Amino acid sequence: MAGQTNTEPNRGGGRTTSLKTSRLSARVRVYGKRVRDFARIFRGSRLGIIGLGILFVFAFMAVSAPVLTAVGLLKNPDVSLCGTDFHYCRPIDPDLRRYVGPTSGALLGTDHIGRDVFSRLWWGSQVTLLIGFMASVLSMGLGTVVGLVSGYYGGWVDEALMRLTDFFLVLPTLVLALVLAGLLAQAGGGSAWTMVLVIGVTLWAFTARLVRAQVLTLKERQFILRARAIGASESRIIWAHIFPNAFSLVFAEAVLTVAVAVLTESFLSFIGLGPADANTWGKMIDDALSHDVIVRNLMWWIVTPGLAIVILVFGFTLLGFALDELLNPRLRRR
C-alpha cells in the first residue's frame, strides 16, 4: 500500500509535465509556421527586401567596428593622426594632420583635430542605431500600455489617457524634443540615454491611438467574451489575448518610429543638444559646420554623415511600409 501511495503522485506529476511539454511544442510549431509563412510572403515584397538589405549594411557597420579597429583595418575614431603615414600622434609629435582631404591613409580625410572621418562615420553607426532602436522601444512601450489600458477599460480612464495623448499629439515633435533636451542639458544631461528618454517621450502618442483603436475592435470579439466567461483575469485578457493580436501593427509602427528617432537625434545633435559623450552622425555634421567646412572646401566631412542618415532612414521607411502592408490585411495586395 505504501508503495502504491508513493507512486500515484509521480504518475500525476508525469502526466502534468507531459501535458505542459506537448502544449509548449504545439505553440512552438504554430509560431514556427507563422514565421515561415511570413518569410514566404515577405520575400515577395521588393521594397521590404531593399530596406532590409540597407539595414543589414548599417548593422554590419555597427557590429564590426570594434573588430575592424582591433585588427587595424579601421583607425581609432578618437585618436588624432600625425605624419604622412597617418600614424597615431605621440605626445611630442608636431605634425598633426588637420583638415586633410581624402587620401589612401584616411579615406574621407581628417577633421579639425586630426581624427579619421571615415572611422568616425563607421563607428557613428553604433550610437545612432542604438539611440534609434532604444527610443523606439521606449516609445512603443509607453504607447502600447496607454493604448491597451485606455481601450480596454474605457470610461474615465479612457477619457483621461486620451486627453493626455491629444496633448502630445498637438505639440510639434521637434519642438517638444528641443524643449526637453534643453531642460535636461541644463540639468547636467546630454548623454545618449538622455536622447533615448527625450525621443521616446515625444513619439509615443500616435502609437497609443493606434493600439487603442485596435483594442476597441478586439475586446468585443467572441474569443474575448469566452475568456471572460471562463474567469480569465483582466490582466490575462489584455496581455495574453488582446496584445498578441495587436502586436503586428505595433511592430510595423516601431520600425517606422526608428527612422523618426534617428532624424530627431540628428536634429538635436546638429544644434548642439545631442549626446556629448558619444559620436553620432548628427554630431559629426555639427562639428563640420562649426569649423567652416564650406569655406575650407571640405564638403566630404559634412556630406558623408548626412548621406548615411538619409540612406538609413530610407531603409527603415521602406521596411516599415512593407511590414505595414503585409501585416495589415486592409493594405495587403491581393
DSSP string for 276-293: TTS--HHHHHHHHHHTTT
Phi (first) and psi of residue 101, to 5 degrees: -75, 175
| Element spanning 28, H or E | helix 2-42
Q: Contact 280/256 with Cβ under 8 angstroms?
A: no
* Distant-in-sequence contacts of 80-83, Cβ < 8 A, 24+ apart: 80/113, 80/114, 80/115, 81/105, 81/106, 81/110, 81/114, 81/115, 81/116, 82/114
pTM for this entry: 0.83
Integer Rg of the chain from CA:
26
Cell of 20: 505542459
Residue type, 104: S
User: In the chain, where do the E strands start and end?
Assistant: 81-82, 87-88
Q: What is the pLDDT of residue 235?
A: 84
Mean pLDDT of the chain: 83
* Sequence letter at residue 298: L
The span from the CA of 330 to the CA of 248, in Å, is 13
pLDDT of residue 334: 44
Strand, coil or helix: 2? helix
Distance of CA 171 to the CA centre of its chain: 22
Q: Are 158 and 208 in contact (CB under 8 A)?
A: no
Is the distance from CB of 140 to CB of 254 less than 8 angstroms? yes
Query: What is the reported pLDDT for 65?
Result: 93
Identify the segments of the chain with pLDDT beneath 50. Answer: 1-9, 331, 333-334
259 vs 51, 147, 174, 191, 224, CA distance in Å?
12, 22, 14, 20, 35
Exposed, middle or buried: residue 309 (CB in 10 Å: 0-12, 13-18, 19+)?
buried
Q: How far is CA 250 from CA 90, 100, 226, 314, in A?
A: 52, 46, 25, 20
